[in-house]
Structure 1
Amino acid sequence: MWCPAFYAVNKMEIINLSTLTVLGNVQATQPSLDNSPIATTRNGSYKGIYLAQYNQDLFLGVPYAHPPIETRRFRDPAHLTINWTGERPATKYAFECIGYGGDQKGYLQSEDCLYLNVVRPHGFENEALPVLVWIHGGGFRQGGTVDRRYNLTFIVDNSVNISKPMMAVSIAYRLGPFGFFNGDDVAAEGALNLGLKDQRLALHWIQENISGFGGDPRKVTIYGQSAGSESVGYHLRAFNGRDDDLFRAGIMESGPVIPQGPLNLTASYQSKYESIVAEAGCSQAEKKLDCLRALPFTVLNNVLNQTDYNTGWEPTVDGDFVARYPSQQVEDGSFVRVPIIAGTTTDEGSTQSPKPVNTTAELRSWMNTSSSYQLGLPDPLINTLLTLYPNTSTFGIPSSSELGGNVTFPQPYGAAFRQSAAYFTDQVFTASRRRTCEAWAAHNVSAYCYRFNTKPATSTWVEGVAHFSDVAFIFNNLEGYGYSPNPFDVGNLTESYILLSYLMAGSWASFVADLDPNGWTGRGRNATRADWPLYTVDRPLNIVWDANVTSYVEADDWRKEGIALINEVALAYGR
């Protein structure tokens, strides 16, 4: 089950897995082996651990594919075909997939990483529970299921408390160059988008095996944030919208069906691929990709750690899994028609927008340059966009009201930061979210859309309600595990933040259970929320999650002209 070698990349800190509790460092939680649960799959049986504090059964480090190592490196994932008798332990998280970024710090990593984890409320093993499948984010280059911020125990516990019991599964997938390698040789072998194919195989595994854990394969909801949310979108559009009956609903937070970046950077990928081949000493090999497969990990990793070789690898149009540009598929309805939740935060792009931007001319220069978020735009389009996104005191994000008036932003933000942040937020996040909700409404498919408008303690006044602000609330992570500071440590507002978390976690659980987030409106908690309306063509409405008032409903028409133009010219952005 375990790869014999593990690695740290980018000089990241290594810690021993024995120091991690089964809940990803929830120090107060102690598992018990006295009441160990058993689950049976097509390959054999697993023995998990019973978590008395939360009355839950955990199955950790369950493989769903053959390890993608050695000759399987840079290839499609392969179904797990081994069988055994007796019970295999499923009591420890597997290693993280090899990634490059700060989210990997402190976690052991390995190429042998295609595993999943199951969290089930105890006593429900024969109940055919609805299943929430979590796909982590991280820009397709970092992240993993061990991350303490993605602890599934709390959201599962809350589902039981509101009488909407569910189980949750978290899946790992290959990242960066290991999951999204690209180049002519890779495309010729049909080996593009491997990380997405990993996820897809995990969903097939769930269909085949989750009933052995007490889950209902007919009631699967796929759920992600950021790149995980984009992944949900890729599965909704996979194979030109083919419905393989892998899920009945989707939840997309900060990364809807039309992804943020261009999907047609083949030329730049090929140049990078050739540089890696040369640096690795494989230029003279007859089969260069096989030469890279044969390299020891440490040798390949040393090559990837040079310049930008380990970054910028993302999904691409391959004519198969990613059949066409996402905007084209959304336009003609080539997506799986299942209910969704889709939303963004108010100041979504504040942490990722270009910096410093001191003048409109500097923003223009950035818009004219290709990046991982866009292709260089033509001048006439930029002129129109800058008219719709002016550098004025009343426009931009964070809003003047949120900031308490007009303020001067320190470096490295710049005087035109609010202008650039507003454009970036809409170009990368909001426009795609709005187009997603509009498309679902146009095809009479249920869509519940939202805007999260609560600034956690982890965000600065400059950032506002930034990307990732809603995650702790939805996961009901009230202790702030994995965060510094605790997102809920906001002085006299803490109680209202906690109530908002219960409302959101309950609404998500209600959606997973009944495909309707309104099935629970605060029962058992001292909190209420507005009724969450369906997004329709005639009434395009969002629920706004705001700790000051818990929630309210708004018309989804702010920055209407700019967002409409961004969606109209989606192909100019390569999406």
Structure 2
Amino acid sequence: MYWIIYPSLFTLFGTASSSASTILTSNTPFVDLDHGVFIGISINNTEAYLGIPYVKQPIGDLRYRQPEPNDPYEGVYNATEFGPICPQVLEAVPSDGQEGTDEAALIDLLESKFSSPTTAVAEDCLRLNIWVPKGTSKRDSLPIVVWLHPGAFVSGTSSSYDGGIIVERSVSNGQPIIFVSLNYRLAAFGFLPGQEAQKANITNLGLRDQRQALRWLQQHIGSFGGDPSRVTLWGMNSGSISVALQMLSNGGNTEGLFSGAVMQSGFPLPLNTYAQLQSTYDAYISAANCSDSLDTLDCIRQAPLQTLLTAMDLIPPEALTEGWEVIVDGEFIPEQPTTLLTQGTVARIPYIIADTDDEGTETALFLTTLETDEAVEIWLATQALPGVSDAEIAQILELYPNDPIQGSPFDTGTTNQVFPHFKQLAAIEGDLEFQGLLSKLYKDLPGIGAGTSTDLLNLYGPGELTDYLINFVALGNPNNGTGLFWPQWNATSPQILTVANESEPLSIIDDSFREKGMNLLMSLLLKNPQ
């Protein structure tokens, strides 16, 4: 895990009674926005405002449109419950066939911590949630962290994550912050590809939703006691990729919408273009019975929600040449992210990049059919790095041999070899798709080790990582003069923070492990973008 400062380069809502006094008591938190009154809820040492609509909801003719700012709020709003979950595809869970072990241990652990209190699914889901320290006033001007949830851009919801845990810890630390989470459109509703979507300028709608939410915060967070000039974006997996893409969009110009970034287990890798996924659009239109329409977009705007949900579920959510993905559209994402990074077209703000030690294990569980050396070679050439040569494949396999002792979960000897090539594939996947380190928390989980998401259990614990996060949000630096000093990463002294379960849970190590392998995979990825 490392951090760097980049200074020079490179709930259902409804208008309620006519008078707020009918539901306000002396201890009820409330906030005035425009001509409206938002009634929140006190939870321990925080005040929460849940399910606030931050744009006009994408229903009716606004389905498959860019997000539009709200009209001024009027009346009284109940902000004590989360809003609905956005329409989505439930991700398939990989399995090694050993019930009660391996990935099931992690799934049980995460589900017990991050289950959503609501199961209602609806399109009027573009809402955000705000937790503030109890008693915060407009004069306090507190820093803000904005959480973008994971889910591979096809699933997930903000209501699964309790921002009160982070805010409570910040108050205990004497560095109070505000926590914001939000929903954005997902799968077919948020990431429709194809030339029709590109021509209508409605690609990457989920990312555009996030951007509009940040504009809403600039306008309104001051009413909650926040400082709009100190907004840190924080995400994991697809949420982390979202953070990175917000940094790359608009020529790297943040528009003053955010001033820092934290990225966990997700980075801007090469993407498909809107044209490469035309078959996804065509299949979706066909499944929605809109192929014969003169205006296929108008047809799906008018289609019943259930028709679209059924059509969406017929298309694999994640595949090399189909599915619901962020795409290069020539506008919000003008070029390949790797190209933009190489050009230095990126926001100049402080940021943290974080990973777990065994990022690739959960992905590798989807690759159980790769039972031979030949099958692994074909996968490398056609799926992992399309276009890679035979000689380059040989280089990869020399650095990532099918030797359990050298594979992932790392440092676990010959154990955890779920299927014959599992640890080899997990090592390749982890180093190819994720960079930077490091969390070794929950290394003892059978099969997957310190896999993706395990560090969330510390951050929402709260734990040591929570404190570094709070410091970074409040100070622009993860250090506050106490505890282990986390040095800034630089090319001449590449050092990273490592978090583990052992008696000495925090340490600083050189960022040089598996250097040859990672450099090879990154060079091949840049040479052969998918």
Q: Could you state the TM-score of these two structures normalised by the residue count of structure 2?
A: 0.86
> Within the alignment, does 1:552 sit opposite 2:513 as a pair?
no
> Within the alignment, does 1:139 sit opposite 2:152 as a pair?
yes
Q: Distance in 2 between matches of 1:374 and 1:99?
A: 28
SS of 2:362's partner is: coil
**Which stretch shows the higher mean deviation, 67-76 or 160-169?**
67-76
Aligned equivalent of 1:428, options 429, 433, 442: 433
Match of 1:417 in 2: 422
Using a 3 Å threshold, how does the CA distance of structure 1 residues 334 and 388 change in structure 2: closer, same or farther?
same
Give the Å deviation of 1:266.
3.9
> Within the alignment, does 1:90 sit opposite 2:79 as a pair?
yes
- The one-letter code matched in structure 2 to 1:116 is L
Task: Map Cα deviations across residues 132-173 of structure 1 (whole Å, 9 max, x no partner).
Answer: 1000010000000111xx211111101110111101000110
Q: Distance in 2 between matches of 1:267 and 1:335?
A: 25
Q: Distance in 2 between matches of 1:76 and 1:551?
A: 44
Using a 3 Å threshold, how does the CA distance of structure 1 residues 142 and 520 change in structure 2: closer, same or farther?
farther
> Within the alignment, does 1:390 sit opposite 2:401 as a pair?
yes
Q: Distance in 2 between matches of 1:298 and 1:310?
A: 21
Give the Å deviation of 1:550.
1.8
**CA contact under 8 A between 1:137 and 1:226: conserved in structure 2?**
yes
Match of 2:493 in 1: 539
- The one-letter code matched in structure 2 to 1:44 is G
Q: Distance in 2 between matches of 1:518 and 1:124?
A: 25
Match of 1:452 in 2: 439
Give the Å deviation of 1:184.
1.1
Q: Distance in 1 between matches of 2:166 and 2:439?
A: 18
> Within the alignment, does 1:264 sit opposite 2:251 as a pair?
no
Match of 2:377 in 1: 364
Task: Map Cα deviations across residues 421-466 of structure 1 (whole Å, 9 max, x no partner).
Answer: 1100011112xx4xxxxxxxxxxxxxxxx4001117xx73211100
**CA contact under 8 A between 1:240 and 1:324: conserved in structure 2?**
no
Give the Å deviation of 1:572.
4.2
Q: Could you state the TM-score of these two structures normalised by the residue count of structure 1?
A: 0.79
Aligned equivalent of 1:288, options 271, 284, 296: 296
> Within the alignment, does 1:246 sit opposite 2:260 as a pair?
no
- The one-letter code matched in structure 1 to 2:424 is Q
Using a 3 Å threshold, how does the CA distance of structure 1 residues 98 and 3 change in structure 2: closer, same or farther?
farther
Using a 3 Å threshold, how does the CA distance of structure 1 residues 184 and 340 change in structure 2: closer, same or farther?
same
Q: Distance in 2 between matches of 1:473 and 1:347?
A: 16
Q: Distance in 2 between matches of 1:3 and 1:294?
A: 24
Q: Distance in 1 between matches of 2:153 and 2:170?
A: 29
The higher-RCO structure (CA 8 Å, 6+ apart) is 2
Q: Distance in 2 between matches of 1:520 and 1:219?
A: 21
CA RMSD of the aligned region, Å? 2.3
Unaligned runs of 5+ in 2: 1-10, 15-23, 92-110
Match of 1:279 in 2: 287
Q: 5 Å matches for 1:189-200?
A: 189-200=200-211
> Within the alignment, does 1:75 sit opposite 2:65 as a pair?
yes
Q: 5 Å matches for 1:16-415?
A: 35-42=27-34, 44-51=36-43, 54-84=44-74, 86-101=75-90, 107-125=119-137, 126-147=139-160, 150-256=161-267, 258-259=268-269, 262-308=270-316, 312-353=323-364, 354-356=366-368, 357-370=370-383, 375=386, 377-399=388-410, 401=411, 403=412, 405-407=413-415, 409=417, 413-415=418-420
> Within the alignment, does 1:515 sit opposite 2:476 as a pair?
yes
Unaligned runs of 5+ in 1: 5-31, 434-449, 478-500, 522-527
Task: Map Cα deviations across residues 240-270 of structure 1 (whole Å, 9 max, x no partner).
Answer: 21231111100001113x23xx412545521
Q: Distance in 2 between matches of 1:309 and 1:56?
A: 37
Using a 3 Å threshold, how does the CA distance of structure 1 residues 426 and 253 change in structure 2: closer, same or farther?
same
**CA contact under 8 A between 1:65 and 1:78: conserved in structure 2?**
yes
Give identity over the alignment, percent: 31
Using a 3 Å threshold, how does the CA distance of structure 1 residues 44 and 574 change in structure 2: closer, same or farther?
farther
Aligned equivalent of 1:506, options 440, 458, 467: 467
- The one-letter code matched in structure 2 to 1:288 is T
- The one-letter code matched in structure 2 to 1:278 is S
Equivalent pairs counted in the alignment come to: 481
Match of 1:25 in 2: none
- The one-letter code matched in structure 1 to 2:131 is V
Q: Distance in 1 between matches of 2:273 and 2:347?
A: 26
> Within the alignment, does 1:561 sit opposite 2:516 as a pair?
yes
Give the Å deviation of 1:79.
0.7
